[in-house]
């Protein structure tokens, strides 16, 4: 009874139509649950769909309808748990909405970022969520993505002539306020010689966190020593390597606001190597609240940014943008929360 499904080739809507003797158009209506089609034909068609194991070809449909059902997610560092959580959040929402996530990881390389964006654009995503690589150029990115596809910039500002991109939506953490909170917390603990440790000036988040630190220091009437503002690659390894820079002079800082948790954990190791015990001889704070922060020795005072929730938020923002393509661009700054743990002790010996 009935034809057999085609071999080797995928089952198409025409196969179904032929299989139960109706037109392609009718099958298409059934697939989309149109109320136009008669109950009995619908049943017959649905049976045939099952029988032949039909799978919908969304690419073909998208082509005809001039629509898209994918969102590109381009991240500067997927391996970083912060972004991995973020990606999980994005995918969670997109999956629920019938969109599919096109992933691109740039490993912090701007050339690769452009290549990835170019490649993803060829798949015609409905929108783009981009956490840019450091040192990227706004105009180049704009050239890669065009003006038709809405883009949500996450986490970092991008370099170059930004005015050309003022129609992009933005989702940023309140870096400045977060760093200010951390600094104020250390000041309240009694510290006066406080460093800002780690990060690259190339990234906007680092500049913003430094600004928050400076703000708090000045508000408290404390002097900001430029030799206590140390740059390093924001990972554990370089953070260990550069840590000695804090102790070159006779008067060393007693505390440090660190660019992020990875840097803070690296600094802890560096302190140990100098015979200092973090959380007793030296106070420090991080940023991100990665899983490790709660269980390091000592547990790390840091700023919670709930990356998974940020991912969900980013997905929702881009979906909203698809609803209203011409609404004015939106910049969202999400607050961060100070989590006090044992690493931010009072100064050891006065």
Give me the residues that bind DNA (CB under 7 A), please. Answer: 9-10, 12-14, 21-26, 28-29, 31-32, 35-41, 56-57, 60-61, 63-66
Cα–chain-centroid distance for residue 341? 25
Cis-peptide into 298, omega within 30 deg: yes
62 binds a second copy (CB under 8 A): yes
For residues 274, 179, 235, 152, the Cα torsion angle rounded to the nearest 10 degrees is 180
295 binds a second copy (CB under 8 A): yes
Q: How far apart are the first and last CA of the chain?
A: 92
Give me the least distance between CB of 205 and a second copy, in Å please: 20
Give me the least distance between CB of 33 and DNA, in Å please: 10
Give me the least distance between CB of 37 and DNA, in Å please: 4
Number of H helices, E strands in the chain: 12, 12
* Contact status, residue 119 vs residue 142, Cβ threshold 8 Å: no
Q: In the complex with a second copy, which residue's Cβ is closer, 116 or 194?
A: 116
Q: In the complex with DNA, which residue's Cβ is closer, 37 or 216?
A: 37
Residue 37 interacts with which of a second copy, DNA, none, CB < 5 to 8 Å by class? DNA
Q: How many chain residues are in contact with a second copy, going by CB under 8 A?
A: 54
Cβ contacts of 169 within 8 Å, gap of 6 or more? 150, 151, 152, 153, 317, 318, 321, 329, 330, 331, 332
Cβ contacts of 7 within 8 Å, gap of 6 or more? none
- 111 by DSSP, 3-state: which? helix
CA-nearest of 306, 302, 307 to 338 is 302
Residue 12 interacts with which of a second copy, DNA, none, CB < 5 to 8 Å by class? DNA
241 binds a second copy (CB under 8 A): no
Residue 265 interacts with which of a second copy, DNA, none, CB < 5 to 8 Å by class? a second copy
94, with CB counted inside 10 A (0-12, 13-18, 19+), is buried
Among 44, 58, 200, 207, binds a second copy (CB under 8 A): 58
Residue 78 interacts with which of DNA, a second copy, none, CB < 5 to 8 Å by class? a second copy
Residue 249 exposure: Cα atoms within 13 Å on the Cβ side: 11
Cβ contacts of 122 within 8 Å, gap of 6 or more? none
56 binds a second copy (CB under 8 A): yes
273 binds a second copy (CB under 8 A): no
Give me the least distance between CB of 97 and a second copy, in Å please: 10
- 241 by DSSP, 3-state: which? helix
88 binds a second copy (CB under 8 A): yes
The DSSP bridge pattern shows strands 337-339 and 302-304 to be: antiparallel
The whole-angstrom separation of Cα 75 and Cα 69 is 20
Residue 65 interacts with which of a second copy, DNA, none, CB < 5 to 8 Å by class? DNA
313 binds a second copy (CB under 8 A): no
Q: In the complex with a second copy, which residue's Cβ is closer, 51 or 308?
A: 308
98 binds a second copy (CB under 8 A): yes
Among 3, 23, 119, 337, binds a second copy (CB under 8 A): 119
Q: Pick left, alpha or beta for residue 154 (phi over 0 → left; psi -120 to 50 → alpha; otherwise beta).
A: beta
**Cβ neighbours, 10 Å, residue 330:** 13
Give me the least distance between CB of 139 and DNA, in Å please: 24
Which residues of the shown chain bind a second copy in the complex (CB under 8 A)? 10, 53, 55-60, 62-63, 69-70, 73, 77-81, 83-85, 87-88, 91-92, 95, 98, 100-105, 107, 112, 115-116, 119-124, 146, 148, 236, 265, 269, 291-292, 295-297, 308
């Amino acid at each position: 009874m009935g034809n057999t499904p085609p071999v080797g080739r995928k089952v198409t809507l025409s196969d179904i139509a032929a299989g139960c003797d109706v037109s392609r158009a009718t099958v298409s209506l059934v697939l989309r649950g149109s109320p136009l089609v008669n109950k009995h034909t619908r049943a017959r068609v649905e049976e045939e769909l099952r029988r032949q194991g039909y799978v919908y070809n969304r690419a073909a449909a998208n082509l005809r309808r001039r629509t898209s059902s994918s969102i590109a997610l381009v991240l500067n560092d997927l391996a970083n748990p912060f972004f991995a959580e973020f990606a999980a959040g994005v995918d969670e929402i997109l999956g629920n909405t019938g969109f599919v996530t096109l992933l691109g990881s740039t490993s912090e390389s701007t050339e690769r970022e452009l290549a990835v964006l170019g490649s993803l654009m060829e798949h015609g995503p409905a929108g783009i969520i981009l956490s840019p690589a450091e040192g990227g150029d706004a105009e180049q990115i704009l050239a890669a993505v065009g003006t038709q596809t809405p883009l949500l910039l996450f986490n970092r500002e991008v370099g170059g002539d930004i005015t050309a991109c003022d129609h992009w939506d933005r989702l940023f953490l309140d870096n400045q306020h977060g760093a200010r909170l951390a600094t104020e917390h250390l000041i309240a603990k009694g510290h006066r010689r406080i460093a800002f440790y780690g990060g690259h000036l190339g990234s906007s988040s680092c500049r913003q966190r430094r600004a928050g630190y400076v703000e708090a220091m000045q508000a408290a009437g404390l002097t900001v020593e430029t030799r206590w503002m140390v740059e390093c690659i924001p990972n554990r390894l370089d953070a260990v390597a550069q840590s000695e820079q804090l102790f070159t002079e006779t008067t060393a800082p007693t505390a440090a606001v660190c660019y992020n948790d990875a840097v803070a954990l690296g600094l802890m190791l560096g302190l140990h190597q100098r015979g200092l015990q973090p959380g007793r001889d030296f106070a420090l704070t991080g940023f991100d609240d990665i899983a490790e922060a709660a269980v390091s020795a000592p547990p790390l005072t840091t700023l919670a940014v709930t990356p998974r929730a940020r991912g969900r938020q980013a997905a929702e923002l881009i979906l909203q943008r698809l609803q209203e393509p011409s609404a004015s661009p939106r910049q969202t700054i999400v607050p961060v929360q100070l989590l006090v743990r044992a690493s931010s002790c009072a100064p050891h010996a006065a």
